[in-house]
């Protein structure tokens, strides 16, 4: 039988374990996020973020795909399903989880020393410690190679000075993974946020990701011991491989925002009447719904495909760029079209559609803008580098 919510039968691709993970996260988001999200969004805050983080830890959603050190050791597909369910509630909640697991924890898990892993990962997996990831600077976003934050040696210590911008979780983090220039190239540092000289003022007045903490990180001669550096990586390869991991989650997550918007529009189109019949009975509305469904389920299928490649160890960064470029671009289009179907109600916070659309403006920009992923693919297709 044709299922309007799963027209391609994608559910058949999932194992019972996949379905259990998906349903756990879906239930958590329905209980803990959906009843409050419009209010949080309107207020531009994420109250109780520490409690939310602990609850996310208790359902195994933090550093989900990592193994050992209290992490769930889930598959890439399961991690993706969790991202989709979280972002179906709000991109801000998915961002909290992505930054914690795919950026901060992943960096420590992949490039950290055994002592760093033991010190930080169990409490981060439990949501007791929130992490952030400082790469972007006020003058260096798409091109982080030009970063100015500098770590100089002083005896065996490191002293960090610089400014990071647009840092998710910054003001509520207990630990920051900060990327800085050194005499030997770019290195990553694990920085406790109570280190003297570090401050994290919150960035306000955002029109997107309003239920997400975004901050500056100001580092004013922050002194760190020799073992604060991530020992296993030098150069941009470090942050870029973390970003590739987080982008993979966005390939799935963006389809969550799109799914909620599509389903809201479908429901509305069936019940809202104009000219004597439901607006879903007009061909122009049906064309919108059909196109939205096609892009939504193609996107979910693409996410599955990339997930299976990641689980097989064969996923390439260019393929992640392919997925991020396509799925976020299509998700935002689905949300905008859904908004038109809702008419004036589409601009109201009573419905989730405009919230998702404005959230996706950030998702379109962070973890590599549309243009960056076009350039990655353009280079892979032509062999010609057009970044400079």
Ligand X SMILES: Cc1cc2nc3c(=O)[nH]c(=O)nc-3n(C[C@H](O)[C@H](O)[C@H](O)COP(=O)(O)OP(=O)(O)OC[C@H]3O[C@@H](n4cnc5c(N)ncnc54)[C@H](O)[C@@H]3O)c2cc1C
Subset of residues 59 to 78 that bind ligand X, contact rule: CB under 6 A: none
Judged by beta carbon, residue 200 or residue 279, the one nearer ligand X is 200
Q: In whole angstroms, how close is the CB of 91 to ligand X at the nearest point?
A: 9
Is 114 a known active-site residue? no
Judged by beta carbon, residue 144 or residue 278, the one nearer ligand X is 144
Q: In whole angstroms, how close is the CB of 171 to ligand X at the nearest point?
A: 12
Subset of residues 180 to 239 that bind ligand X, contact rule: CB under 6 A: 209, 214
Pick one of 167, 279, 289, 331: the residue that binds ligand X (CB under 6 A): 167
Chain residue whose CB lies nearest ligand X:
141
Judged by beta carbon, residue 99 or residue 269, the one nearer ligand X is 99
175 contributes a contact to ligand X by CB under 6 A? no
365 contributes a contact to ligand X by CB under 6 A? yes
Residues 78-117 as x/- pattern, contact with ligand X by CB under 6 A:
---------------------x------------------
- Of 161-169, 272-280, 342-350, 376-384, which segment contacts ligand X by CB under 6 A? 161-169
242 contributes a contact to ligand X by CB under 6 A? no
Report the alpha-carbon distance of residue 21 to residue 80 in Å, rounded. Answer: 10
332 contributes a contact to ligand X by CB under 6 A? no
171 contributes a contact to ligand X by CB under 6 A? no
**β-pairing verdict for 175-182 and 185-192:** antiparallel
Beta bridge partners of 131: 175
Q: In whole angstroms, how close is the CB of 387 to ligand X at the nearest point?
A: 5
Question: Of 85, 137, 330, 367, which is the active-site residue?
Answer: 367
Could you write out the three-class secondary structure of the chain? Answer: CCCCCCCCCHHHHCCHHHHHHHHHHHHHHHHHCCCCHHHHHHHCCCCCHHHHHHHHHHCCCCCCCCCCCCCCCCCHHHHHHHHHHHHHHCHHHHHHHHHHHHHHHHHHHHHCCHHHHHHHHHHHHCCCCCEEEECCECCECCCHHHCCCEEEEECCEEEEEEEEEEEECHHHCCEEEEEEEECCEEEEEEEECCCCCEECCECCCCCCCCCCCEEEEEEEEEEECHHHECCCCCCCHHHHHHHHHHHHHHHHHHHHHHHHHHHHHHHHHHHCEECCEEHHHCHHHHHHHHHHHHHHHHHHHHHHHHHHHHHCCCCCHHHHHHHHHHHHHHHHHHHHHHHHHCHHHHHCCCCCHHHHHHHHHHHHHCCCCHHHHHHHHHHHHHCCCCCC
Q: In whole angstroms, how close is the CB of 153 to ligand X at the nearest point?
A: 24
366 contributes a contact to ligand X by CB under 6 A? yes
Q: In whole angstroms, how close is the CB of 115 to ligand X at the nearest point?
A: 25
Pick one of 24, 123, 142, 345: the residue that binds ligand X (CB under 6 A): 142
Pick one of 60, 112, 134, 352: the residue that binds ligand X (CB under 6 A): 134
135 contributes a contact to ligand X by CB under 6 A? yes
Give the active site residues: 367
What residues line the site for ligand X (CB under 6 A)?
99, 133-136, 141-142, 166-168, 209, 214, 362, 365-366, 369, 371-372, 387
């Amino acid at each position: 039988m044709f299922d309007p919510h799963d027209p391609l039968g994608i559910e058949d691709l999932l194992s019972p374990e996949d379905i259990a993970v998906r349903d756990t996260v879906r239930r958590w988001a329905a209980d803990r996020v959906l009843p409050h999200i419009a209010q949080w969004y309107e207020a531009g805050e994420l109250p109780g973020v520490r409690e939310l983080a602990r609850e996310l830890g208790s359902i195994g959603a933090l550093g989900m795909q990592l193994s050992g050190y209290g992490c769930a050791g889930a598959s890439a597909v399961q991690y993706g399903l969790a991202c989709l369910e979280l972002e179906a509630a709000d991109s801000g909640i998915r961002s909290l989880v992505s930054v914690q697991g795919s950026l901060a924890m992943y960096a420590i898990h992949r490039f950290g020393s055994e002592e760093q892993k033991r010190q930080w990962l169990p409490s981060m997996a439990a949501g007791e410690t929130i992490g952030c990831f400082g790469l972007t600077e006020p003058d260096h976003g798409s091109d982080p190679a030009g970063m100015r934050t500098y770590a100089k040696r002083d005896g065996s210590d490191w002293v960090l000075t610089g400014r990071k911008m647009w840092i998710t979780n910054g003001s509520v983090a207990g630990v920051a993974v900060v990327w800085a220039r050194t005499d030997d190239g770019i290195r990553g540092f694990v920085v406790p946020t109570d280190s003297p000289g570090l401050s994290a003022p919150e960035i306000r007045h955002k029109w997107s990701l309003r239920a997400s903490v975004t901050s500056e990180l100001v580092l004013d001669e922050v002194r760190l011991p020799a073992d604060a550096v991530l020992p296993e990586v030098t150069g941009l390869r470090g942050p870029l491989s973390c970003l590739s991991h987080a982008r993979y989650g966005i390939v799935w997550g963006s389809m969550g925002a799109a799914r909620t918007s599509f389903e809201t529009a479908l429901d509305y189109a069936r019940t809202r009447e104009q000219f004597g019949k439901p607006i879903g009975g007009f061909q122009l509305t049906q064309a919108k719904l059909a196109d939205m469904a096609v892009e939504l389920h193609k996107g979910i299928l693409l996410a599955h495909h990339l997930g299976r490649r990641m689980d097989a160890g064969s996923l390439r960064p260019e393929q992640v760029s392919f997925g991020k470029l396509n799925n976020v671009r299509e998700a935002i289009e689905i949300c905008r079209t859904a908004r038109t179907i809702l008419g004036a109600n589409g601009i109201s916070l009573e419905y989730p559609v405009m919230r998702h659309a404005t959230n996706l403006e950030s998702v379109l920009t962070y973890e590599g803008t549309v243009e960056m992923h076009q350039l990655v693919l353009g280079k892979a297709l032509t062999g010609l580098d057009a970044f400079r």
